[in-house]
Every structure is written in structure tokens, then in C-alpha cells.
Amino acid sequence: GMYPNIEQSPVDQLAMARLPENAIAYDLIYTPNPTQFLRQAKEQGAIAIDGLEMLVQQGAAAFKIWLGQTPPVDIMRHALLV
């Protein structure tokens, strides 16, 4: 979960244990990274994807709509990672 509930997960351990091999776990939450959900999924062998790229792309879309300019996606992504 997102702060302040960082130890929560939307999926309990029993359900997580039934993930198929090579499952993809996608959490729209981007902080903390990784979330409890993604940590559990990785432990089960899943491919874990966080919500950071979605945040970047939503910001880029808004930038384009509001300013009518091509957004600097690489700069935006870098700013979130530092």
C-alpha cells in the first residue's frame, strides 16, 4: 500500500502463493518502491512492475494537453528517479 499503509497488500499470502509461473504483477502505486504487493509477487517468481511509468506518461499527456508541446519524457522520468 501507499504511505502510511506501506505494509498492506491487496492480495493475501494464500492467493499470492497460487500465482502461475511467470505471472505479471502490476501495482499502480509508485511509492514505496517496491510495495509490499510487489515484494510478495517477486518472492513467488512473478515479474513485478510499479506505477512509476504510468505516472510519467500521465504527466506527459497532461503536459501535451495543457501546453500543446511535446513533453520532455526522459527529463520527467529522471526527475522522479533522483
Domain definitions of the chain by residue range: 1-50, 51-82
Model confidence, pTM? 0.78
> In this predicted structure, what is the pLDDT of residue 39?
94
Tens of pLDDT along 8-66? Answer: 888 888 889 999 988 999 999 988 889 999 999 999 999 999 999 999 999 999 999 99
**How many other C-beta atoms can be found within 10 angstroms of the C-beta atom of residue 37?**
20
Sorting pLDDT into bands at 50, 70 and 90, what band is 70?
A: very high
pLDDT at 2 over 80: no
Cβ-contact 63, 34 below 8 angstroms: no
pLDDT above 80 for 1: no
Kindly state the cell numbers that stand for 32. 514505496
- Let me know: does 31 contact 4? Beta carbons within 8 Å: no
